[in-house]
Amino acid sequence: MSVPIGSVRAVSDTAISRQTAQDYVDRLERRDWPGLTGLLTDDVVYEMPQTRERIRGREAFLRFNIDYPGDWHLRVRRLVADGRLAALWLDVRVGDEQQDACVWLELSEHGLINRIVDYWPEPYEPPQGREHLVERW
């Protein structure tokens, strides 16, 4: 047996985190509120550092999502999972508008999401002086 126990457990935690992160997006996208509830700890904390907003608890977080305005749709662009952590790079659409999001998840020892941190980066104009190094798309 050349693989230490710790590595085997880490692979298993990672597999759970990867599946849970994918399920988190899928259930939000489907508005599967009971399914989403099943992924979250009772006292999950949701943070948006750009607005310095924090929501505490599963019930308030569900309500926030149920009430969120617009016909929003989520697609995973990238999912990186490691132990009890996961990072999601999302393609978010509301009607004709598109925005990317960066989401950081922490899972509890029982594989439930207990912390979510969302970033919603907005487009902006690049500063002058680096045109010789960059191309635009």
Q: How far is the CB of 14 from a copy of itself (least distance, A)?
A: 7
Question: Which pair of tokens denotes residue 49?
Answer: 């550092």
CB of 10 to a copy of itself, least distance (A): 7
Counting every residue written for the chain, the total comes to: 137
Is the distance from CB of 43 to CB of 58 less than 8 angstroms? yes
Structural contact between residues 32 and 24, judged by C-beta atoms closer than 8 angstroms? no
CA torsion sign for 17, 97, 52, 39 is negative
Binding mask 77-116 for a copy of itself (x = CB under 8 A): -x-xxx--xxx-x----------x-x-x------------
Which positions lie near a copy of itself, rule CB under 8 A?
1-3, 7-8, 10-11, 14, 18, 48-56, 60, 63-64, 67, 78, 80-82, 85-87, 89, 100, 102, 104, 117, 119-126, 130, 133-137
